Amino acid sequence: MDDDLDQALSAVGPRLRTLRQQRETTLATLSVATGISVSTLSRLESGTRRPTLELLLPLAKAHGVTLDELVDAPPTGDPRVHLRPVTYHGMTLLPLTRRAGGIQAYKIVIPATSSRTEVEPKTHEGYEWLYVLNGRLRVVLGEHDLVLSPGEAAEFDTRVPHWFGALDAEPVEFLSLFGRQGQRAHLRAKPRTGRPDEDQISRAR
């Protein structure tokens, strides 16, 4: 039993590093999110610091995974992706990929909008591709205010301030592909005028 425990704990370090790389998060950013020092995080990932429940709980929360996932990584060679929903800023994310680096795929569900919903654009490195499955997605992108309906897609540089939300009193579901490289979307947009213009974005070919 002790050997099994030691083996499981020894795998935590590489798993933590993989999760952080998947989310393209720095040790400094993770330190702020968890309250764990950068040096401790580095030693956990390298295996020179034995993980404890006190350390694993905030890390699991920051990465949006369960404790089981931290101590028992999916079997090597298993092609199945075990969908575990993550709640982030009111959105539900279903990771569709589990490899570190490269393009990351997600299914995202945003609940119905409300009159108190605030538009707070964010920026980060990379490119993102969106494809709407159900509902209507409002996309604020720089000075543009766009609407994507089912079957429409957009792709953009995420260094441009952006924000997503459900347009109507219905949830919206869409697929998201995110990576550091990608082609730009072909958007036909004009500056925001107060209401989203549903004809401002071209359908994906």
Per-residue pLDDT of 124-168, as tens digits, reads: 888 899 999 999 999 999 999 999 999 999 999 988 999 989 988
Residue 44 is encoded by which pair of tokens? 């956990």
SS3 of 13, please?
Answer: helix
Model confidence, pTM? 0.53
Residue 56 one-letter amino acid: L
Q: Give tens-digit pLDDT for 77-90.
A: 556 666 667 777 77
Q: Give tens-digit pLDDT for 91-102.
A: 888 878 765 556
* Sheet architecture: strand order including 86-88: 86-88, 91-95, 104-110, 172-179, 127-134, 153-157
Contact present, 156 and 163 (Cβ < 8 Å): no
Contact present, 154 and 185 (Cβ < 8 Å): yes
Q: Give tens-digit pLDDT for 19-68.
A: 888 778 899 999 998 899 999 999 989 988 888 878 888 888 887 777 66
Phi, psi of 129 (to 5 degrees): -120, 130
